[in-house]
């Protein structure tokens, strides 16, 4: 027995069994205790509750929702809300970050100073404090009756009212797709290395296809237009309330705004780092080939910088996506808030926590998969082009 314990292989096996076993035992014990405690409160474990109606309502949803809908539908609503808020935040943050990041790398000292001040201030204040601040700011805006007006939009304590086109839902979606295609297709064309050219110059094809797609969008909008209404539906005061337009609730704008500003400060640093990673030699080489500064930027500097940024950017996006959980602080029904509310109402603690973990795992994994694809697509072939 003693000699067995001195045997290294036996020791290793024992150690592993002990480690994994004790972890598994802890988890198991917790689950068992939880099940017993819940059973005492009359809650039976299982996933039946998913198909029962919730009995409560959500304040923000892109999908139709009533208190009679089953729990699984609410989880879906939560995930859609999280993805919507996350994507909006990411896009805005990327725009802000790119502008500030370019300012930080610019050759102009004043622009650099401005960019740096921005980053230093907004990076060093916790996101949730910024969320609280914007939320307080918006909810302290005047009531609808005294609303601020700008460009047809109304700023009120009940949210931001923006004009929307009077167009049927499907047509609107189709038109949006067409606009995306108008941007994406020429870009894709520009990236395909070789093209048989029966139609003439590549740039002509790009222009033509973009114009075609945009025309499509316009036709779709015209066709799908609701009869007997002006093209744009402007919000306006009617009685004590605002009618028309689209209301963006304060919770959403506060969160999206805060994520854009805070995330923008991080992305600015990533952008700056990406440009710094591009070797001076490559730019000098490009300049010495007689390329114009603009072409050097678009054909050499930008693509190389993008490649350097992308992996870090992917991490940042995952982080920002998780930051949407701050919705609960101001009452935005994101996935996590739905989870918390469901636990409160149904008591199915264990199952719901499991769904929470699965949900975030799925979100993380799909984001990672998307970025891996992009990374692979633009990765330099071989190693010869490293700065």
Partner 1 sequence: MEIVVVAPPAPGRLEDLKRRFFATPLQTLLSLISLTIMALIVWKLLDWAVFSAVFTTTGGPEACQAAAGACWSVIAARWRIILFGLYPFEEQWRSALACVSVVVMTVLSCMPAFWTGRRIALVWGAGTGLYYVLMKGGVLGLPYVGEEAWGGLALTLFIFVTTCLIGFPLAICLALLRRSDLPWISRTTGLIIDGVRSLPLISILFTFAVVLPFALPQWLQGDKLYRVILGSALFFSAYQAEIVRGGMQGVPAGQEEAAMALGMSYWQRIGRILLPQAMRNALPATINQFVISFKETSLVVIVGFFEILASGNAAYGTGEWRFAYVEVYAFIAFIYFVFVFSLSRYGAYLERRMAVGER
Partner 2 sequence: MDSTLPSGPAVHIEGLDKHYGSFHALRKINLSVDRGEKIVICGPSGSGKSTLIRCINRLEQHDGGRIAVLGTELNDDVGNIDGIGREVGMVFQHFNLFPHMTVLENCMIAPVIVRKRPRAEAETTARRFLEKVRIPEQAMKFPSQLSGGQQQRVAIARALCMQPQIMLFDEPTSTLDPEMIAEVLDVMVTLASEGMTMICVTHEMGFARRVADRVIFMDAGEIVEEAPPEAFFTSSRNERTRQFLSQVLGH
Query: What values do phi and psi take at 349, rounded to 5?
Result: -55, -55
**Nearest-CA neighbor of 363 among 147, 79, 14, 69?**
79
Q: Which does 136 bind (CB under 5 to 8 A by kind): partner 1, partner 2, none?
A: partner 1
Distances in whole angstroms, Cα of residue 56 to Cα of each of 65, 183, 220: 10, 42, 38
Please name the residues in contact with 375: beta carbons below 8 A apart, sequence gap of 6 or more. 310, 311, 314
Select the span of 9-17, 137-145, 178-186, 258-266 touching partner 2 (CB under 8 A). Answer: 9-17
Q: Which does 146 bind (CB under 5 to 8 A by kind): partner 1, partner 2, none?
A: none
* Residue nearer to partner 1 on the CB measure, 71 or 166: 71
- 3 state SS for 110-144: HHHHHHHHHHHHHHCCCHHHHHHHHHHHHHCCCCH
CB of 8 to partner 2, least distance (A): 4
Q: Which does 252 bind (CB under 5 to 8 A by kind): partner 2, partner 1, none?
A: none
Q: Which does 203 bind (CB under 5 to 8 A by kind): partner 1, partner 2, none?
A: none
Instruction: Characterize the bridge pairing of strands 159-162 and 246-248.
Output: antiparallel
* Residue nearer to partner 2 on the CB measure, 18 or 208: 18
**Nearest-CA neighbor of 273 among 387, 191, 152?**
387
Q: Among 11, 243, 373, 386, which residue interacts with partner 2 (rule: CB under 8 A)?
A: 11
b/e 143-182 (16+ beta carbons within 10 angstroms → b): ebeebeeeeebbbbebbbbbbebbbeeebbebbeebbebb
Q: Which does 20 bind (CB under 5 to 8 A by kind): partner 2, partner 1, none?
A: partner 1
Instruction: Tell me the number of residues near partner 2 by CB under 8 A.
Output: 7
- Tell me if 7 contacts partner 2 by CB under 8 A: yes
* Residue nearer to partner 2 on the CB measure, 7 or 203: 7
* Residue nearer to partner 1 on the CB measure, 88 or 348: 348
Interatomic CA distance for residues 382 and 7, integer angstroms: 47
Interatomic CA distance for residues 81 and 364, integer angstroms: 16
CB of 16 to partner 2, least distance (A): 15
- Tell me if 376 contacts partner 2 by CB under 8 A: no
- Tell me if 16 contacts partner 2 by CB under 8 A: no
**Nearest-CA neighbor of 89 among 251, 206, 243?**
251
CB-side neighbour CA atoms (13 Å) of 247: 17
Q: Which does 121 bind (CB under 5 to 8 A by kind): partner 1, partner 2, none?
A: partner 1
Query: What values do phi and psi take at 86, rounded to 5?
Result: -60, -50
- Tell me if 10 contacts partner 2 by CB under 8 A: yes
* Residue nearer to partner 2 on the CB measure, 8 or 41: 8
**Nearest-CA neighbor of 244 among 172, 164, 169?**
164
- Tell me if 1 contacts partner 2 by CB under 8 A: no
CB of 10 to partner 2, least distance (A): 8
**Nearest-CA neighbor of 71 among 85, 84, 58, 86?**
58
- Tell me if 8 contacts partner 2 by CB under 8 A: yes
* Residue nearer to partner 1 on the CB measure, 13 or 285: 13
- Tell me if 15 contacts partner 2 by CB under 8 A: no
- The number of beta carbons lying within 10 Å of the beta carbon of residue 118 is 19
What residues make contact with partner 1 under the rule CB under 8 A? Answer: 12, 15-16, 19-20, 23, 30-31, 33-34, 37-38, 103, 106-111, 113-114, 120-121, 123-129, 132-133, 136-137, 140, 322-323, 325-326, 328-329, 336, 339-340, 343, 349, 353, 356-357, 360-361, 364
Q: Which residues of the chain form contacts with partner 2 (CB under 8 A)?
A: 3, 6-11
């Amino acid at each position: 027995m003693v000699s067995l314990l001195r045997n290294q292989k036996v020791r290793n096996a024992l150690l592993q069994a002990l480690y994994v076993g004790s972890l598994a035992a802890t988890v198991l014990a917790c689950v068992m205790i939880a099940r017993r405690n819940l059973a005492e409160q009359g809650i039976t474990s299982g996933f039946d509750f998913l198909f029962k109606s919730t009995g409560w309502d959500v304040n923000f949803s892109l999908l139709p929702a009533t208190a009679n809908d089953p729990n699984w539908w609410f989880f879906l609503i939560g995930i859609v809300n999280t993805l919507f808020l996350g994507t909006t935040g990411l896009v805005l943050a990327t725009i802000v970050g790119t502008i500030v990041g370019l300012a930080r790398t610019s050759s102009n000292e004043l622009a650099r100073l401005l960019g740096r001040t921005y980053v230093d201030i907004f990076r060093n204040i916790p996101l949730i404090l910024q969320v609280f601040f914007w939320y307080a700011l918006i909810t302290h805006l005047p009531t609808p009756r005294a609303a601020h007006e700008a460009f047809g939009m109304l700023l009120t304590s009940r949210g931001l009212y923006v004009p929307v086109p009077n167009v049927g839902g499907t047509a609107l979606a189709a038109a949006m797709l067409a606009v995306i295609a108008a941007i994406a297709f020429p870009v894709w064309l520009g990236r395909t290395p070789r093209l048989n050219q029966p139609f003439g110059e590549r740039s002509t094809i790009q222009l033509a296809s973009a114009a075609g797609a945009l025309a499509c969008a316009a036709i779709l909008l015209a066709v799908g237009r609701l009869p007997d209404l002006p093209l744009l539906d402007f919000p306006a005061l009617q009685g004590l309330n605002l009618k028309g337009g689209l209301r963006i609730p304060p919770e959403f704008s506060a969160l999206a705004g805060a994520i854009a500003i805070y995330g923008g400060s991080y992305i600015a640093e990533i952008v700056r780092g990406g440009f710094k990673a591009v070797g001076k030699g490559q730019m000098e080489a490009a300049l010495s080939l007689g390329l114009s500064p603009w072409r050097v930027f678009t054909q050499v500097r930008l693509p190389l910088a993008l490649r350097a940024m992308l992996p870090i950017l992917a991490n940042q996006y995952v982080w920002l996506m998780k930051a949407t959980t701050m919705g609960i602080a101001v009452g935005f029904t994101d996935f996590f808030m739905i989870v918390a509310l469901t636990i409160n109402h149904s008591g199915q603690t264990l199952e719901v926590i499991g769904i929470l973990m699965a949900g975030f795992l799925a979100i993380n994994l799909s984001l990672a998969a998307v970025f891996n694809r992009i990374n692979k697509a633009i990765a330099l072939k071989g190693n010869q082009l490293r700065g």
